[in-house]
């Protein structure tokens, strides 16, 4: 191992230490990237990079989708779209055994199609769905596990900030990535519902059935959910048919969500200020992470560490599917300690060259990566979605929440296995979209 390789390893270790000390990941990557680049290539080159990269990168037109999708999700959150969708799903399947939990998963999937955020999905749907499940004496493990797992769909079903970040870091088409997440998102939604049905079949007391809604109530609830369904259809369908570019679709979705929130009179009482400030804060956080990654990436490339790791793995002469399984397993382990964006920006410079060298489609691998990031969102001890749900039900012990998510983790693993055998599930829409 050469000197630059050692510096690359030390830089990565320092990065992890800084993250454990709670330094923001964007700042940590900037610091380590500049110092490491200066050691390997001299301080003048490092300062020149620091002076040019942040501005030139923040001016990239494709990044406009981030604030627009974030604004779209925040407007959807305050306008009551989540409750309308839950009421619609509840009226259609709430009378099943475990039907309230299944309706929660369906509404989480629907809200994910306008929010793009797992935390926002968990918070919004948790506030709506948890009181109903508790009113019908649902087991706390099933109720909390359903909310925590359902919220993760927010970063798989388009629009997804995770896909935007992955696309920018790997220079892949953001539109293709967003479309690639659609069918896998539906597949995972179905697997979650099947998981609930199996649990309540084995132990009916976990989720008793709710009341049967009349056909009139079902039709009315579906009508109230119509605006959200229309917005999702227009943005995703517009991208698929080539009517909109990704940025244009984000602008259309943001405008329609904002207009609907105005029509519902949901932006009064300080809500408008809150929506705009939250959108700015989230956008600034994502931009800082991306800028930090663009400084940290050249340092790693200069150290030769990614190439050395790829060469080492190729020398082992393992089947390529074994290498892929090891990479996904590594992500699942890292997800127990690192936040999803941190995992992505830290590992892509090393992992992505390996995956492409093995001949895997980078769009398909993006979907696989996002699913394992989802698993990290509900894995102990970090599991940010679990902490979000715990905040909504402080009387439920944390251990019970983690027990509740275990069946859903198994469902995610099954989803990964299905996508490995049938990658066409993820690639059908991207491969048939009209450019």
- Greater confidence (335 vs 299) lies with 299
Taking residues 93-111, report their average pLDDT: 87
- Greater confidence (269 vs 171) lies with 171
Q: Is 163 in contact with 80 (CB distance < 8 Å)? A: no
pLDDT in tens, 362-380: 999 999 999 998 888 788 7
DSSP 3-state assignment of 267? coil
Residue 304 has what DSSP assignment?
T
The most confident of the ranges 40-54, 182-196, 257-271, 316-330 is 182-196
What CA–CA distance (Å, rounded) separates 181 from 141? Answer: 28
DSSP 3-state assignment of 265? coil
What CA–CA distance (Å, rounded) separates 401 from 283? Answer: 30
User: Which tokens is 237 given?
Assistant: 């369908």
pLDDT above 60: residue 1: no
Residue 173 has what DSSP assignment?
-
Taking residues 56-68, report their average pLDDT: 79
pLDDT above 90: residue 408: yes
Of 122, 112, 127, residue with least CA distance to 162: 112
Local confidence band at 195 (pLDDT 50, 70, 90 cut-offs): very high
In the chain, what percentage of residues exceed pLDDT 90?
18
* Cα within 13 Å of Cα(313), Cβ side: 22
Local confidence band at 268 (pLDDT 50, 70, 90 cut-offs): confident
What CA–CA distance (Å, rounded) separates 69 from 249? Answer: 9
The predicted pLDDT at position 2 comes to 58
Strand stretches in 197-281, DSSP E: none
Of 99, 56, 317, 94, residue with least CA distance to 193: 99
The predicted pLDDT at position 351 comes to 87
Taking residues 153-166, report their average pLDDT: 85
What CA–CA distance (Å, rounded) separates 20 from 10? Answer: 15
State the maximum Cα–Cα separation within the chain, in Å, rounded to a whole number. 73
What CA–CA distance (Å, rounded) separates 264 from 238? Answer: 25
Q: Is 139 in contact with 164 (CB distance < 8 Å)? A: no
Helices (H), 203-304: 215-224, 226-240, 246-263, 271-303
Q: Is 75 in contact with 173 (CB distance < 8 Å)? A: no
The predicted pLDDT at position 186 comes to 93
Contact partners, residue 74, CB within 8 Å, separation at least 6: 120, 275, 278, 279
pLDDT above 80: residue 254: yes
Residue listed under structure tokens 């560490």: 305
Instruction: Say which range, 191-195, 213-217, 342-346, 400-404, has the weakest mean pLDDT.
Output: 342-346
Contact partners, residue 13, CB within 8 Å, separation at least 6: none
pLDDT above 80: residue 198: yes
Of 419, 431, 382, 385, residue with least CA distance to 404: 385
Tell me the pTM: 0.86
Local confidence band at 397 (pLDDT 50, 70, 90 cut-offs): confident
CA angle 185, 80, 124 (to 5 degrees): 55
What CA–CA distance (Å, rounded) separates 423 from 103? Answer: 28
pLDDT above 60: residue 336: yes
Taking residues 135-161, report their average pLDDT: 87
Cα distances (Å, whole numbers) of residue 362 to 35, 152, 185, 238, 353: 31, 22, 18, 23, 10
- Greater confidence (409 vs 435) lies with 409
**What rounded mean pLDDT belongs to the chain?**
85
What CA–CA distance (Å, rounded) separates 280 from 276? Answer: 6
The predicted pLDDT at position 414 comes to 96
Residue 212 has what DSSP assignment?
P
pLDDT above 70: residue 382: no
pLDDT above 70: residue 314: no
Contact partners, residue 20, CB within 8 Å, separation at least 6: none
Of 33, 58, 65, residue with least CA distance to 47: 33
């Amino acid at each position: 191992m050469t000197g630059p390789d050692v510096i690359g390893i030390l830089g990565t270790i320092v990065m992890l230490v800084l993250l454990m000390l709670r330094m923001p990941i964007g700042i940590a990557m900037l610091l380590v990237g500049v110092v490491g680049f200066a050691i390997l290539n001299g301080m003048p080159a490092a300062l020149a990079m620091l002076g040019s990269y942040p501005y030139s990168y923040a001016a990239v037109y494709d990044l406009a989708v981030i604030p627009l999708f974030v604004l779209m999700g925040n407007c959807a959150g305050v306008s009551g779209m989540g409750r309308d969708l839950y009421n619609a799903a509840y009226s259609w399947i709430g009378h099943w055994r475990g039907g309230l939990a299944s309706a929660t998963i369906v509404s989480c999937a629907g809200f994910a199609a306008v929010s793009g955020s797992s935390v926002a999905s968990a918070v919004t749907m948790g506030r709506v769905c948890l009181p109903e499940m508790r009113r019908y004496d649902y087991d706390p493990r099933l109720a909390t596990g359903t909310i925590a797992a359902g919220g993760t769909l927010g970063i798989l079903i388009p629009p997804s900030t995770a896909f935007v970040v992955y696309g920018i870091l790997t220079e892949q088409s953001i539109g293709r990535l967003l479309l690639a997440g659609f069918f896998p998102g539906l597949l995972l939604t179905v697997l979650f519902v099947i998981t609930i049905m199996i649990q309540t079949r084995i132990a009916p007391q976990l989720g008793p059935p709710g009341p049967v809604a009349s056909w009139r109530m079902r039709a009315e609830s579906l009508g109230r959910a119509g605006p959200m369904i229309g917005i999702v259809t227009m943005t995703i369908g517009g991208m698929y048919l080539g009517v909109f570019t990704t940025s244009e679709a984000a602008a259309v979705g943001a405008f329609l969500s904002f207009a609907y929130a105005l029509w519902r009179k949901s932006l009064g009482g300080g809500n408008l200020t809150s929506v705009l400030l939250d959108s700015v804060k989230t956008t600034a956080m994502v931009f800082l992470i991306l800028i930090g990654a663009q400084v940290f990436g050249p340092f790693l490339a200069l150290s030769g560490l990614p190439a050395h790791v790829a060469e080492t793995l190729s020398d082992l002469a393992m089947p390529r599917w074994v290498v892929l399984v090891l990479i996904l397993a590594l992500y699942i382990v890292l997800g127990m300690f690192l936040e999803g964006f941190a995992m992505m920006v830290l590992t892509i410079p090393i992992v992505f060259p390996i995956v492409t060298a093995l001949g895997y489609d980078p769009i398909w691998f993006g979907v696989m990566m996002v699913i394992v990031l989802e698993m990290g969102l509900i894995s102990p001890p970090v599991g940010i979605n679990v902490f979000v749900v715990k905040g909504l039900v402080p009387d439920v012990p944390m251990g019970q929440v983690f027990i509740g998510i275990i069946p859903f983790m198994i469902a995610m693993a099954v989803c990964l296995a299905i996508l490995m055998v049938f990658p066409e599930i993820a690639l059908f829409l991207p491969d048939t979209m009209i450019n």
